[in-house]
Chain A
């Protein structure tokens, strides 16, 4: 089974500041990696995913994430935070490639607060 660690359950930034949300995973087989966003009282929406193409992945709303195999990390960044980015963010990793089960393993989430 995979495990996912999101460092920092809460992150606060000022509007216009850099957003950095950290995610590390444990995997002995190259996985697929995802970031999901959850706005209050809503379900989870896919923000971006890494599936073995470019290691720098661009997602919606100006977010991007870089896959670093040597560090087993997939940190999420955005150069300039906007008030509308306030939400909870979940990192997820799949079973290793070649697995017949399409299961994702989720981190515990990071709540992003954006101050005006």
Chain B
């Protein structure tokens, strides 16, 4: 009963380094999302995908790229990390269009860029 799994859970990067965050879901969900959570800002959508091979920009896409080569995986990449990307990143997935099913969230990745 894994649901949505995010790896890694914690990471410290130096400015300019790159990394990839992995999100995997085992619920056969079509839709997947990447959010960042910052104090007082709530959850802000970075990128999302409505199916395998598709991706789209959310509210704060700059500095991030994503890929959805397999239905169960959604990868978030930082090509050149900046301190402003210090945040907690959450992946989520959903099954239904229109949002009826709500999201299932991963447990998050805490990223610090120094």
Name A's B-contacting residues (CB within 8 A). Answer: 9, 31-32, 34, 36, 42-46, 49, 51, 90, 92, 94-104, 106-109
Instruction: Provide 5 A-B residue pairs closer than 8 Å at the C-beta atoms, listed in order of the A residue.
Output: A99-B98, A101-B97, A102-B30, A103-B99, A107-B42
Selected interface stretch from B12-20, B64-72, B73-81, B88-96? B88-96
- Given known contacts A43-B105, A101-B50, A103-B33, is B98 in contact with A108 (CB within 8 Å)? no
With A94-B98, A102-B99 given, can you name 16 additional A-B contacts, CB distance below 8 Å? A32-B99, A32-B102, A43-B107, A44-B92, A45-B105, A92-B102, A92-B103, A95-B99, A97-B100, A100-B50, A102-B30, A102-B31, A102-B96, A102-B100, A104-B102, A106-B43
Please indicate the chain A residues that have their CB under 8 angstroms from the CB of B41 in the complex: 108
Residue of A nearest to B59 (CB): A1
Question: Do A100 and B97 touch (CB < 8 A)?
Answer: yes
Shortest distance between the CB of A1 and any CB in chain B (Å): 9
Considering the chains assembled together, what is the distance between the CA atoms of A103 and B31 in angstroms? 9
How many chain-B residues does the 8 Å CB contact rule pick out? 26
Please indicate the chain B residues that have their CB under 8 angstroms from the CB of A94 in the complex: 98-100
Question: Do B100 and A51 touch (CB < 8 A)?
Answer: yes
Residue of B nearest to A35 (CB): B102
Question: Do A31 and B99 touch (CB < 8 A)?
Answer: yes
Shortest distance between the CB of B96 and any CB in chain A (Å): 5
Partner of A103, one of B48, B90, B107, B108: B48
Question: Do B105 and A44 touch (CB < 8 A)?
Answer: yes
Partner of B98, one of A36, A44, A46, A102: A102
Considering the chains assembled together, what is the distance between the CA atoms of A22 and B103 in angstroms? 21
Question: Do A102 and B42 touch (CB < 8 A)?
Answer: no
Please indicate the chain B residues that have their CB under 8 angstroms from the CB of A103 in the complex: 31, 33, 45, 48, 99
Residue of A nearest to B101 (CB): A102
Please indicate the chain A residues that have their CB under 8 angstroms from the CB of B40 in the complex: 9, 108
Shortest distance between the CB of A8 and any CB in chain B (Å): 13
